[in-house]
Amino acid sequence: MATEIKAPTFPESVADGLVATWHKQPGDACSRDDLLVDIETDKVVLEVVAPADGVLQEIVKGEGETITSEELIAIFAEGAVASAKPAAPAKAAESASPAAKNNDESPILSPAARRLADEHGIDPQVIPGSGKGGRVTKEDTLKYIESQSVAQAQAAPSAPKPAAVTPEPTAPVFAGERVEKRVPMTRLRARVAQRLVEAQQTAAMLTTFNEVNMQPIMDLRSRYKELFEKKHNGVRLGFMSFFVKAAVEALKRFPAVNASIDGNDIVYHGYQDIGVAVSSDRGLVVPVLRNAENMGLAEIEATIREFGLKARDGKLGIDEMTGGTFTISNGGVFGSLLSTPILNPPQSAILGMHKIQDRPMAVNGKVEILPMMYLALSYDHRLLDGKEAVSFLVTIKELLEDPARMLLDI
């Protein structure tokens, strides 16, 4: 029985998608839930799987083609059996190289692994896969690249040295070629670029700065981190959960920072959905902590860790990345000391965290060395006045420097 394979249903915020990689070809046998194709949108990579046991009969939309929500992309024959291929002679099979053995069956690559292979000019068929069903993962590709580099480094000293000759005057010889490579921008990167430009063109964006003494938070972590980890099944106590909790409390006190502009209206949100910017191989993504006001430190840390793993593997869902009333970006993990974060429309503000650095500070008339962090709050001046924005950032500073205030709601 022929079955139509259609693109997933995209939400309203996603106009279309791109056929990234077909993992099965016409005539290939498939088991139920086998991965057929990756669909790349401007937010996530969606996987389309086989609806039942059968054979992929026809591909309607090839790799690189743009598709819309629920558009027909392939025809699948349920219950069909792939035609048997003639077996190769035993001797030929034994002497065949790994690349030759895979001529009839292309290896299954994850999107991240395929991008790495393309960037380094590697034939995917020579990469041994350790994933399910021989799937080549990003880690497999990295190991293969590293092994090739080591092999080349070991082989270099054994090469015979050419006999020394007196060079004749010739034209200059360059040691290597100036190589350029042109690749299409991914949909995610293109969408990020578009939104960042829109934010700067449409919002009256301004940034205010402050600094926070991180010693109280660091002392609290040092005192309770082991007990916290045991209590919450291995969840580690990080800095981000304190910033999320402080942001939630500050947003409750300054509702305009949690609001957004919709045409000529201001929409005040009665909940705090905090977006946490996460860097991935595909680009910057911002998964959202839903109803962060109801989450404890452990739940926040566990959810953020889950987001990071999903972003690394390209498994974040569209529902996990839509919405959000406020965003926190941590450039400090990359060593950034100070920056001006760009708004995530239609949100009215974004908080930038930075590197913790020991600095001499005046405390009660004495100079002390304290672990300080610069904070940056970029905000839309159309909605927020300087007084509200500065007061909001000062509130976050005060809550972080005296964490007990978050528990006592003072």
Q: Tell me, yes or no, if 385 is annotated catalytic.
A: yes
Q: What is the CATH number of the domain that holds 385?
A: 3.30.559.10
Q: Are residues 70 and 211 in the same domain?
A: no
The mean pLDDT of 348-366, rounded to a whole number, is 95
> Would you say residue 172 lies in a domain?
no
Number of domains in the chain: 2
- Two tokens, residue 155: 């082989």
Confidence check: pLDDT of 172 > 60: no
CA 127 – CA 144 distance, rounded (Å): 6
> Would you say residue 326 lies in a domain?
yes
The mean pLDDT of 278-298, rounded to a whole number, is 87
List the catalytic residue out of 265, 381, 402, 409: 381
> Would you say residue 184 lies in a domain?
no
Which residue among 16, 49, 78 closes a domain? 78
Which residue among 46, 78, 110 closes a domain? 78
Give me the domain span that covers residue 399. 205-408
CA 328 – CA 324 distance, rounded (Å): 11
- Smallest CA-to-CA distance from 328 within 309, 304, 364 is with 304
Confidence check: pLDDT of 272 > 90: yes
> Would you say residue 112 lies in a domain?
no
Tens digits of residue pLDDT in 306-350: 998 888 887 888 788 888 999 999 998 889 999 999 998 899 999
CA 339 – CA 351 distance, rounded (Å): 10
Q: Are residues 70 and 213 in the same domain?
A: no
312 exposure class (CB count in 10 Å sphere: 0-12, 13-18, 19+)? middle
Confidence check: pLDDT of 201 > 80: yes
The mean pLDDT of 231-257, rounded to a whole number, is 94
Q: Are residues 251 and 388 in the same domain?
A: yes
Q: Tell me, yes or no, if 381 is annotated catalytic.
A: yes
- pLDDT confidence of residue 315: 81
> Would you say residue 127 lies in a domain?
no
- Two tokens, residue 357: 């650095």
List the catalytic residue out of 123, 319, 385, 402: 385
- Two tokens, residue 379: 């905000």
Query: For the chain, what is the mean pLDDT?
Result: 82
Q: What is the CATH number of the domain that holds 70?
A: 2.40.50.100
Q: H or E element: which one contains 243? A: helix 240-253
The mean pLDDT of 145-170, rounded to a whole number, is 57
Question: Which residues 6+ apart lie within 8 Å of 131 measured at CB?
Answer: 108, 110, 137, 140
Q: Are residues 230 and 377 in the same domain?
A: yes
CA 119 – CA 232 distance, rounded (Å): 41
> Would you say residue 159 lies in a domain?
no
> Would you say residue 369 lies in a domain?
yes
> Would you say residue 311 lies in a domain?
yes
Which residue among 53, 78, 103 closes a domain? 78
- Percentage of residues in the chain having pLDDT higher than 90: 39
